[in-house]
Amino acid sequence: MLPLPLVMPVPDPEHGRVRLRAFRADDVPMLRDMSTDPHVPLIGTLPGNADAQDALAYIDRQHSRLVGGAGWSFCIADAATDAGVGQIGLWIGAIEHGRATVGYSTAPRFRRRGYTADALAALVEFAWTIDGLHRLEAYIEPWNAGSASTARAGGFEFEGTLRSHQEIGGRRRDMQLWAIVRDS
């Protein structure tokens, strides 16, 4: 088990065109953009069509995940401008078994530019610095080809479909299991 409270890594994880950093108040416009995706509110705590107060409350929740030991929620930031473009998280609920899960979302106006793939690479590099962590898992709905493509680009391999695995939007959903394991 990792000691609490967890802390942000220093220096911030980086890869390619992104840096993973803590969320800040100036990320509110990006989060408001991200909240316009109808799927984002179903899979996380950012409400649909968030206003500024909703976005600030979301930022507070992301900071509390670190303090509470749930894991790391990073703002994906453009390395050149430091502007937020999305969110990526490393969740350590199964760390005692050597496993963690990842999740990511990019604001609509920043999609299809390679930011999320770079962020996933940075997150994997960071994850492998954690003693006892040997496996990272991503759960992706079968229709989400973009997310599957990002996982594949990050070295994750498709392992199968878990039927009726998770409730999303009030309905049980199948989820694809993608995973990457640490080289010995």
Q: Looking at residue 5, what is its pLDDT?
A: 77
pTM of the model: 0.94
**43 part of a folded domain:** yes
Report the number of distinct structural domains present in the chain: 1
91-141: pLDDT as tens digits: 999 999 999 999 999 999 999 899 999 999 999 999 999 999 999 999 999
Residue-number span of the structural domain to which 84 is assigned: 14-181
Q: Looking at residue 183, what is its pLDDT?
A: 83
**29 part of a folded domain:** yes
Q: Looking at residue 1, what is its pLDDT?
A: 60
3-state secondary structure the chain: CCCCCCCCCCCCCEECCEEEECCCHHHHHHHHHHCCCCCHHHHCCCCCCCCHHHHHHHHHHHHHHHHHCCEEEEEEEECCCCCEEEEEEEECCCHHHCEEEEEEEECHHHCCCCHHHHHHHHHHHHHCCCCCCCEEEEEECCCCHHHHHHHHHCCCEEEEEEEEEEEECCEEEEEEEEEEECCC
**58 part of a folded domain:** yes
Read off the CATH number of the domain in which 107 is found: 3.40.630.30
**4 part of a folded domain:** no
**7 part of a folded domain:** no
**2 part of a folded domain:** no
Q: Looking at residue 41, what is its pLDDT?
A: 86
Residues of the chain predicted below pLDDT 50: none
**28 part of a folded domain:** yes
Q: Looking at residue 3, what is its pLDDT?
A: 66
